């Protein structure tokens, strides 16, 4: 019997096509659905709270604004009452919401690579028809886009929520406690936290330590940015006296000069303190208790300032005007975006480099 | 050949002793050393930062105390400015996440990791019974978590002491009383109690959810809800608040819950009251001027109104109730922790291998 030979079917092996990118969407959903649903649940619950609290705050503010006559004592009192009732809670909420980008980044970003490495399933995942570099990109980029978009929407909701307290001047636009929760910065911080999580997952290769390290790094970064970087995004303006800056400006620093040279803080303290005491003794009526003295602080300070100015001292402040809010937001968003791209690129490079 | 039989050596089996408890110490250390080291590192780092800032804070406070004559109006004012670039620490919000982070990362993986990886089948079938194993782990780690938290809360009390001693107006709106929600649970015994509660919730969540990362997330969510509910609603009702009509003479250490006006026994709405205050203001015509002078105007208006048929009521908790509130909160948190630990151990026992 003669063996029959059949020629090889060429078209099966020529130009093998890689698996198309869209096949990864199903994989991403199945592997990360709980993390993504958790993000939706968290942002959803917080959005519910902001909507409810924000609606009552907007109503109260509208009622305070509708008060007539507007310059009367009673109507001004209504605005003060509004602030007393709502401002402290709203400020605390704003500060606590800074934790949300870090939590999202840590819990969504860190397990992406860390779980595969911890359980060893990377040996399976990286040897499918979809190359390991493309696999990493296909996972990180869509997840990053999803969490950033969700965070962006939430940031808009927070801006709406807090709007009355900016409108009545309770908080300045560049308020450092709230800057990271507004505008573009909230979405940018979420993206940066996600990228940090991905890289730390790749470096640490264990899920829970990667989450912890991501949280720690994000906290440190946000403090560093708020305290040291943000005041210097653009060169601060310098002005004489507190009065030269509008009330909405973010005052960074104040110092005194005399005859062109700066007077040190310690020397100023020695001069100002006895002056201040004299002013308090002169201005405060005798029957005011020591608890209530602080209400006279403003007029006593003004007297001390007048005295110093008349005696050759000049007060300078450096500040950032409120009009720079959106430029600062774009600058912060920009460098956070660049950092995220860098971190994701580093992650992909590490994936490529790792011996299977 | 005859088989030799030897009698069973009775002393080997009779009175079979379980493995002594102290053998668990080494196992707990080996399995949880990174979590514990992480906890001590985080608390230690924050403690160092607080110590650095607190030293200059106390320096300023000592300088303010050295002012003579003490108790005069002029000296009362110089004691009031603790702020500067570290005012963000003043309202305590930044330090709130510490108990939940410690509790979630130490307590969450405690049982959940064994369940997730399946190593419980090995751990529970050693000479040390599963109930004793769970109890030994939970109690030892609870103590290991609470002791550094207690030490840390002592440093926090030292840090905030100048603020409370001077009833500092450290941020915009109100004086700082120890009852302030973001500060109350950082002080006294409640910081350690909240850390313990977070740990216990983490242990129970781990046993219920049986996956590490969801257990950590669930612990954080439950703790956040609980802390918010307590701070916003529950805490003011630990003891029935006092109601008084001498609202103008309340000591400033009181925690004011609500205030309202009545006339002839009926409550006056805030809008109506604003109109009354406005009319009184114009009729009394007190001196205009800087904001500092608006306050005596307001005081004299309030005095005028109370003399003319209006009563200003205040519902408040006196400052003297601070420690009873601390004990109450620590007490129920401790009870909650016990319930969570007992529930976790019961679940361990109940689970089919």
Same domain (yes/no): B188, B249:
no
**Model confidence pTM above 0.90:** no
B24 Cβ partners below 8 Å, 6+ apart?
Answer: B128, B133, B136, B137, B140
CB atoms A295 and B75 under 8 Å: no
Residue B184: give the domain boundaries: 35-42+68-81+88-239+321-350
Does any domain span residue A201?
yes
DSSP B86: G
Q: Count structural domains, chain A.
A: 2
B16 in any annotated domain: no
The DSSP bridge partners found for residue B317 are B255
Q: CB-based contacts of B152: which residues, under 8 Å, 6+ apart? A: B43, B46, B47, B98, B191
Asked if residue A208 belongs to a domain, the reply is: yes
Q: In terms of residue numbers, what domain contains A214?
A: 32-236+323-353
Whole-number Å distance between alpha carbons of A193 and A105: 4
Mean pLDDT by 10 residues, chain A (356 residues): 69 69 87 93 94 92 80 75 81 87 95 93 88 91 95 94 86 86 93 97 95 94 90 85 75 81 78 77 68 66 80 84 90 96 96 79
- Tell me: do B258 and B306 sit in the same domain: yes
Domain annotation covers residue B233: yes
Asked whether residue B296 carries a pLDDT value surpassing 70, the answer given is no
Same domain, B233 and B120: yes
- Is A289 contained in some domain? no
The beta-carbon neighbor of A208 closest among B42, B75, B105 is B105
Determine which of B217, B250, B254, B301 to mutate to test the interface with A (most A C-beta atoms within 10 Å): B217
Q: Which residue of A has its CA nearest to B73?
A: A290
Q: Is A18 part of any domain? A: no
Interface check B12 vs A, CB under 8 A: no
Instruction: Please tell me whether residues A39 and A140 are part of one structural domain.
Output: yes
Torsion of CA B110, B115, B116, B120, to 10 degrees: 100
- Cα separation of the two ends of chain B: 45
Angstroms from A279 CA to nearest CA on chain B = 8
**Is A298's CB within 8 Å of B290's CB?**
yes
State whether B270 and B325 are in the same domain. no
Which residues in chain B touch residue A280, judged by CB atoms under 8 angstroms apart?
73-74, 77
| B74–A280 C-beta distance less than 8 A | yes
The stretch B89-114 carries a mean pLDDT of: 87
Interface contact flag, A281 B295, Cβ < 8 Å:
no
Closest by Cβ to B74, choosing from A77, A84, A277: A277
Tell me, yes or no, whether B270 lies in a domain: yes
- B98 min Cα distance to partner chain A (Å): 12
Is residue B344 domain-resident? yes
Cβ-based contacts of B97 with chain A (< 8 Å): 99
Are residue B227 and residue B249 in the same domain, yes or no? no
Task: Say if residue B144 is in the same domain as residue B199.
Answer: yes
The pLDDT of residue B294 is: 54
Quick one: tokens of B296? 């005596």
Q: What are the residues whose beta carbons fall under 8 Å from the beta carbon of B226, sequence distance 6 or more? A: B197
Is the same domain home to B164 and B307?
no
Indicate whether B161 and B291 sit together in one domain: no
Q: Is the pLDDT of residue B109 over 80?
A: yes
pLDDT digits (tens, 9 = 90+) for B32-65: 999 999 999 999 999 998 898 888 888 877 777 7
In a domain, A9, yes or no: no
Q: Note whether A101 and A151 are within 8 A (CB).
A: yes
Q: Residue B101 domain-assigned?
A: yes
- Assess whether A215 and A247 both reside in one domain: no
> Do residue B246 and residue B285 come from a single domain?
yes
Q: How many domains does chain B have?
A: 2
Instruction: Return the DSSP state at A18.
Output: P
| Cis status, amide bond into A69, omega within 30 of 0 | yes
Q: Of A73, A273, A290, which has the smallest distance from its Cβ to B278's Cβ?
A: A73
Mean pLDDT, chain B, rounded, equals: 82
User: What whole-number distance in Å separates Cα of residue B194 and Cα of residue B200?
Assistant: 10
- Across the A/B interface, how many CB contacts are shorter than 8 Å? 120
Let me know whether A215 and A245 are in one domain. no
Residues A211 and A266 in one domain: no
Taking only the tens place, the pLDDT of each residue in B142-197 is 999 999 999 999 998 888 887 777 665 544 435 567 787 778 888 879 999 999 99
A134 and A270 housed in the same domain? no
Do B73 and B134 sit in the same domain of this protein?
yes
Instruction: Judge if B263 and B131 occupy the same domain.
Output: no
CA distance B21 to B136: 7
Strands (E), chain B: 242-244, 255-263, 266-268, 310-317
Asked if A111 and B78 come within 8 Å (Cβ–Cβ), the reply is no
Mutate to test the interface with A, among B74, B93, B175, B285 (most CBs of A within 10 A): B74
**Mean pLDDT value across residues B81-89:** 54
Binned at pLDDT 50, 70 and 90, residue B84 comes out as very low
| Residue B343, in any domain of the structure | yes
Contact B277/A212, CB-based, under 8 Å? no
**Secondary structure element (H or E) that encloses residue A171, with its range:** none
């Amino acid at each position: 019997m003669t063996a029959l030979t059949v020629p090889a079917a060429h078209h099966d092996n020529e130009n093998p096509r890689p698996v198309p990118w869209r096949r990864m969407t199903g994989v991403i959903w199945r592997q990360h659905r709980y993390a993504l649903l958790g993000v939706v649940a968290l942002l959803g619950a917080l959005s519910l709270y902001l909507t409810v609290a924000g609606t009552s705050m907007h109503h109260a503010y509208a009622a305070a604004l509708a008060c007539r006559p507007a310059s009367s004592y009673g109507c001004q009192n209504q605005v003060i009452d509004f602030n007393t009732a709502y401002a402290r809670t709203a400020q605390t909420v704003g500060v606590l919401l800074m934790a949300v980008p870090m939590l999202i980044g840590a819990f969504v970003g860190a397990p992406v690579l860390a779980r595969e490495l911890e359980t060893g399933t990377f040996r399976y995942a990286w040897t499918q028809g979809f190359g390991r570099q493309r696999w990493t990109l296909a996972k990180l980029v869509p997840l990053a886009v999803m969490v950033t978009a969700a965070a962006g929407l939430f940031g808009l909701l927070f801006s709406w929520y807090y709007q009355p307290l900016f409108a009545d001047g309770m908080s300045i636009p560049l308020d450092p406690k709230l800057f990271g929760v507004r505008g573009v910065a909230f979405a940018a911080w979420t993206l940066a936290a996600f990228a940090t999580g991905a890289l730390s997952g790749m470096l640490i290769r264990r899920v829970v330590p990667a989450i912890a390290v991501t949280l720690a790094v994000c906290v440190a970064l946000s403090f560093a940015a708020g305290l040291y970087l943000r005041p210097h995004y653009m060169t601060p303006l310098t002005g004489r006296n507190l009065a030269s800056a509008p009330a909405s400006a973010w005052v960074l620093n104040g110092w005194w000069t005399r005859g062109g040279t700066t007077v040190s803080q310690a020397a100023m303290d020695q001069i100002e303190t006895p002056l201040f005491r004299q002013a308090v003794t002169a201005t405060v009526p005798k029957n005011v208790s020591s608890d209530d003295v602080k209400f006279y602080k403003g007029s006593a300070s003004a007297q001390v300032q007048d005295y110093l100015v008349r005696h050759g001292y000049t007060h300078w402040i450096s500040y950032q005007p409120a009009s720079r809010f959106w430029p600062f937001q774009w600058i912060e968003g920009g460098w956070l975006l660049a950092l995220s791209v860098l971190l994701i690129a580093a992650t992909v490079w590490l994936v490529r480099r790792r011996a299977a | 050949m005859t088989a030799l039989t030897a009698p069973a050596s009775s002393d080997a089996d009779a009175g079979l002793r379980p493995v002594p408890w102290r053998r668990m110490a080494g196992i707990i250390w080996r399995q949880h050393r990174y979590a514990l080291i992480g906890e001590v590192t985080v608390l230690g780092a924050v403690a160092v930062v607080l110590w650095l800032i607190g030293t200059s804070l106390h320096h300023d406070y000592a300088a303010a105390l050295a002012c003579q004559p003490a108790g005069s109006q002029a000296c009362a004012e110089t004691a009031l400015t603790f702020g500067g670039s570290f005012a963000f620490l003043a309202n305590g919000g930044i330090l709130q996440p510490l108990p939940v982070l410690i509790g979630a990362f130490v307590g969450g993986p405690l049982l959940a990791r064994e369940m997730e990886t399946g190593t419980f089948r090995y751990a529970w079938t050693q000479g040390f019974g599963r109930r004793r194993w769970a109890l030994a782990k939970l109690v030892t780690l609870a103590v290991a978590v609470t002791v550094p938290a207690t030490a840390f809360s002592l440093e926090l009390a030292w840090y905030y002491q100048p603020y409370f001693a001077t009833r500092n107006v450290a941020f915009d709106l109100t004086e700082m009383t120890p009852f302030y929600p973001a500060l109350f649970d950082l002080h006294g015994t409640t910081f350690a109690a909240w850390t313990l509660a977070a740990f216990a919730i983490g242990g129970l969540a781990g046993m219920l959810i049986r996956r590490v990362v969801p257990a950590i997330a669930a612990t954080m969510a439950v703790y956040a809800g609980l802390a918010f509910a307590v701070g916003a609603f529950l805490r003011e009702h630990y003891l029935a608040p006092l109601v008084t009509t001498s609202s103008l003479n309340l000591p400033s250490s009181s925690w004011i819950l609500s205030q309202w006006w009545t006339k002839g026994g009926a409550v006056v709405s805030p809008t109506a009251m604003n109109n009354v205050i406005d009319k009184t203001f114009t009729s009394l015509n007190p001196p205009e001027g800087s904001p500092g002078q608006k306050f005596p105007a307001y005081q004299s208006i309030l005095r005028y109104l109370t003399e003319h048929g209006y009563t200003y009521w205040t519902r408040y908790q006196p400052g003297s109730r601070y420690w009873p509130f601390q004990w109450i909160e620590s007490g129920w948190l401790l009870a909650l922790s016990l319930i969570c630990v007992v529930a976790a151990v019961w679940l361990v026992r109940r689970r089919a291998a």
